[in-house]
Amino acid sequence: MTEDEHSPEGMTRRQLLRHTAWFGSAVVLTVTGGEVLSRIAAPDDAAALDDPNALRFVQVSDSHLGFTGPANTAVESSFSAALTQINTLGYRPDFVMHTGDLTHLSTAAQFDQVKQMMSTLDTGHVSTVPGEHDSIDDAGQKYRKAFGAGTAGDGWYSFDVKGVHFIALVNTLSLEKLGHLGPDQLEFVRKDVAKLGSDTPIVVFSHVPLFAMYPAWGWGTDDAAQALSYLRRFSSVTCLNGHVHQLFTKTEGNITFHSATTTAYPLPQPGTRPAPAPVTLPAGKLKDALGIREVSYRPGGPGLAVKDVKLA
Amino acid sequence: MRKSVGVKHFLPITATVLTVAACSAPPPAAPSPAAPMTSMTSMPGMTPPPSPTAAANSTANAVAIKNFAFAPATTTVKKGTTVTWTNQDQDAHTVTSTGSGGPLRSPTLQTGQSYQYTFSTPGTFDYLCTIHPFMTATVTVTP
């Protein structure tokens, strides 16, 4: 009874897309051999992934190493498949970002395992933000020991690659239902972007969405509006999050939010179940719900191109 | 095209579910889920009558963790009562005071494991599962 054996909604990616609000200046959905889940790009950015001068990075999320439920009895294999897929993209991504819930239960063994697995990535560097599953009993101490080198505060940081400014936030440590950034981190964001020109593309990573995707399930961040207020003057702001284990995109003014899928197990669409508990899909359907995200940006272009690909 | 379709589909679903969630928030085990809402809306300022759940129920100091929820979500006990939480789910859970400084700090509870806490002071104690923070509940301790 803890997890549903069937999926009455038949939540496939394609159906999810139909029921999901897709905003944005240009949205192109393509399904090529069932592989590409979505592609969101300005028309002239579609080929950026083939451009060696473009910024190209990969987002992977919610690997939940250590999860053992029927929704995915082999999360380690799924994550391994995702890593292999990244290593065989045909280009070397500038970096790979894991947007949290690396582990399922924050054990030392699970942190060791996920760190070891990600060390096999062929990329410029590997970055992470923590999820609530990575800080269940120690306010993130084990997480920061494994992944917090070079970070400020409770693990937040920023960096620049090929003209794009990246901010990695921590919104899972408050022991509240909703995500929370807190005054120290908000001040970090304010100071971090103060010196940047308004034409600098901004990308913000967090585990919990920075928009109110479904607050009844905690799918939002109670003080995100303050952080986003510091980003309103920028021409292009892209917020990439995990946590919800499903694709969702929303645009508010200059800011576009993209929730990523997971490599572990699907969660229900907002409100379709009593609780966001792992969904067990019919046999053979799991891979359709899991995936990775390729993101690219061509310098001088209008914005980032986001392409979601399911696990091969 | 996709824009308008998406909006039309998503918003009604959300609205419907919010309504359902609000009505069904108390777990099935609670005998009078509507009582607290009624007393809040129709009798402002009055002291609500003692909840039948809390009055003399020998199971009031036991909270089940099942189907990714605490059941019951609201528990009222007298000062000095030991409350026991037992995880009946396949996934792990915790019993952790909301915010900072609260008394509840269970370890990770695997299937079948329990956590106990004896409330020595009256008050309202909100808690959640740190692994699944959407799981929230409250213990009220009376003098």
Contacts of B67 in chain A (CB under 8 A): 1-2, 274-275, 277
* Residue A3 falls inside a structural domain: no
Judge whether residue A241 has pLDDT over 50: yes
Instruction: State the sign of the Cα–Cα–Cα–Cα dihedral A40, A45, A46, A47.
Output: negative
pLDDT level of residue A203 (50, 70, 90 thresholds): very high
pTM equals: 0.80
Instruction: Tell me the two tokens of residue A156.
Output: 């937040």
Nearest to B59 by CA among B46, B47, B71, B41: B71
Query: Per mean pLDDT, which range of A62-71, A87-96, A200-209, A301-310 is the poorest?
Result: A301-310
- Overall CATH class of domain B27-32+60-142: mainly beta
**Going by DSSP bridges, is the β-strand pair A255-259/B62-66 parallel, antiparallel, or unpaired?**
unpaired
Give the mean model confidence (pLDDT) for residues A57-80.
97
Give the mean model confidence (pLDDT) for residues B72-97.
97
Residue spans per domain, chain B? 27-32+60-142
Question: How far is Cα A181 from Cα A284, in angstroms, rounded to an integer?
Answer: 39
Could you tell me how many CB contacts below 8 A there are between chain A and chain B?
A: 112
Q: What is the DSSP string of A13-71?
A: HHHHHHTS---SS--B---STT-EEEEE--GGGTTGGG-TTSEEEEEE----BT--STT
* Cβ pair A277:B100 closer than 8 A: no
- Residue A292 dihedral angles phi and psi, to the nearest 5°: -130, 165
Question: How far is Cα B108 from Cα A234, in angstroms, rounded to an integer?
Answer: 43
> Per residue in B28-52, pLDDT tens?
333 333 333 333 333 333 444 444 4
* Residue A2 falls inside a structural domain: no
Question: How far is Cα A108 from Cα A103, in angstroms, rounded to an integer?
Answer: 10
> Per residue in A181-194, pLDDT tens?
999 999 999 999 99
* Residue A5 falls inside a structural domain: no
Residues of A with a Cβ under 8 Å from any B Cβ are: 1-3, 18-23, 27, 29, 67, 69-70, 104-105, 132-133, 135-137, 174-178, 214, 216-218, 269-272, 274-278
* Residue A6 falls inside a structural domain: no
Number of structural domains (chain A) is 1
Question: How far is Cα B31 from Cα B10, in angstroms, rounded to an integer?
Answer: 33
Q: What is the domain extent for residue A269?
A: 13-310
* Residue A256 falls inside a structural domain: yes
Query: Per mean pLDDT, which range of A30-39, A91-100, A256-265 is the poorest?
Result: A30-39
Nearest to A246 by CA among A205, A209, A284, A203: A209
Residue A234 belongs to domain with CATH number: 3.60.21.10
pLDDT level of residue A302 (50, 70, 90 thresholds): confident
Q: Which residue of A22, A214, A269 is in closest CB contact with B2?
A: A22
* Residue A8 falls inside a structural domain: no
Q: Which residue of B7, B18, B134 is in closest CB contact with A21?
A: B7
